[in-house]
């Protein structure tokens, strides 16, 4: 996999759901509980996997549309949001697990002196609680949730905010994520992107990222390897 770096990397920004943490079972449980409370058909895990990535509002819009066969009105969306929040607060972290290689990868990146952040569309309080519960909150110099910046991914705002908190120039940072939303945000922020081959993306990550890894602990070696020289010596 090729990673063309024009400058040394000083900061690494990680997406959360589908990249560091397999959180789908908890998200599914909260969505299922929400739809059941509304007396609507409950989606299976595969359906909810396709709804994740654009934050809670989009998650519920998609789940309601899936159950109704058409878009929900504002009143139903508001009721679903009010039902979802406490359910996810309770469920968050119960079944969630770090993907293999995450702790080793974060350790090695930290040992290289890189500053690390999480940039996620999951709301701030749920993100902080999840990272704390998994015992990795202290690895990150910044956690930027989906409600922390003016606009969420795919906009550049949360990535730029993370860089400001880490005191790293965006051009010296790198985004790691599992979706085309992360890739678009990285592009908008002017930074390179590494995709993970697992996660909740809906297509082949090679379509939107030039570099795909199977584990987070493969990343330190990519950063240490100088890009191949082109042209004649």
Ligand X SMILES: O=C(O)COP(=O)(O)O
The separation between CA 148 and the C-alpha centre of its own chain, rounded to angstroms, equals: 14
Q: Which of 33, 53, 158, 170 binds ligand X (CB under 6 A)?
A: 53
165/145 Cα distance (integer angstroms): 13
Q: What's the closest the beta carbon of residue 18 comes to Mg ion, in angstroms?
A: 4
Of 33 and 146, nearer to Mg ion (C-beta) is: 146
Residue 15 designated active-site: yes
Of 72 and 159, nearer to Mg ion (C-beta) is: 159
* Contacted entry of ligand X, Mg ion, none for residue 61, CB cut-off 5 to 8 Å set by kind: none
* 59: its two tokens: 């998650």
Of 79 and 187, nearer to Mg ion (C-beta) is: 187
Q: Which of 17, 26, 61, 217 binds Mg ion (CB under 5 A)?
A: 17
Does residue 18 bind Mg ion (CB under 5 A)? yes
Of 6 and 203, nearer to ligand X (C-beta) is: 203
Does residue 145 bind ligand X (CB under 6 A)? no
Q: Torsions phi, psi of 145, nearest 5?
A: -85, 175
In contact, 15 and 178? CB cutoff 8 Å: yes
Q: What's the closest the beta carbon of residue 152 comes to ligand X, in angstroms?
A: 8
Does residue 10 bind ligand X (CB under 6 A)? no
Task: Put the strands of the sheet holding 115-119 in their side by side order.
Answer: 142-144, 115-119, 11-14, 173-177, 193-196, 212-213
- Which range, of 36-44, 92-100, 117-125, 216-224, touches ligand X by CB under 6 A? 117-125
Does residue 92 bind ligand X (CB under 6 A)? no
* Contacted entry of Mg ion, ligand X, none for residue 121, CB cut-off 5 to 8 Å set by kind: ligand X
Does residue 26 bind Mg ion (CB under 5 A)? no
Kindly list the residues in this chain that would bind Mg ion in the complex (CB under 5 A): 15, 17-18, 178
Residues annotated as part of the active site? 15
């Amino acid at each position: 996999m090729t990673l063309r770096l024009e400058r040394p990397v000083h900061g690494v920004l990680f997406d959360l759901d589908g990249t560091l943490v397999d959180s789908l079972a908890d998200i599914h449980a909260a969505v299922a509980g929400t739809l059941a409370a509304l007396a609507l058909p409950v989606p299976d895990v595969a359906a909810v996997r396709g709804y994740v990535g654009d934050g809670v509002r989009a998650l519920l819009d998609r789940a309601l549309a899936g159950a109704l066969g058409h878009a929900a009105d504002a009143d139903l969306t508001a009721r679903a949001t009010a039902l979802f929040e406490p359910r996810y607060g309770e469920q968050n972290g119960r079944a969630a697990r770090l993907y293999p290689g995450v702790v080793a990868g974060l350790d090695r990146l930290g040992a290289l002196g890189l500053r690390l952040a999480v940039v996620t569309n999951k709301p701030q309080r749920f993100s902080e609680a999840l990272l704390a519960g998994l015992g990795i909150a202290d690895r990150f110099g910044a956690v930027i949730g989906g409600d922390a910046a003016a606009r969420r991914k795919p906009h550049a705002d949360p990535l730029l905010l993370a860089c400001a908190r880490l005191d790293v120039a965006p051009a010296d940072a790198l985004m790691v994520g599992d979706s085309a939303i992360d890739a678009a945000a990285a592009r908008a922020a002017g930074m390179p992107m590494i995709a993970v081959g697992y996660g909740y993306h809906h297509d082949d990550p090679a379509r939107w990222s030039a570099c795909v890894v199977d584990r987070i602990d493969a990343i330190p070696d990519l950063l240490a390897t100088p890009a191949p020289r082109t042209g004649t010596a």
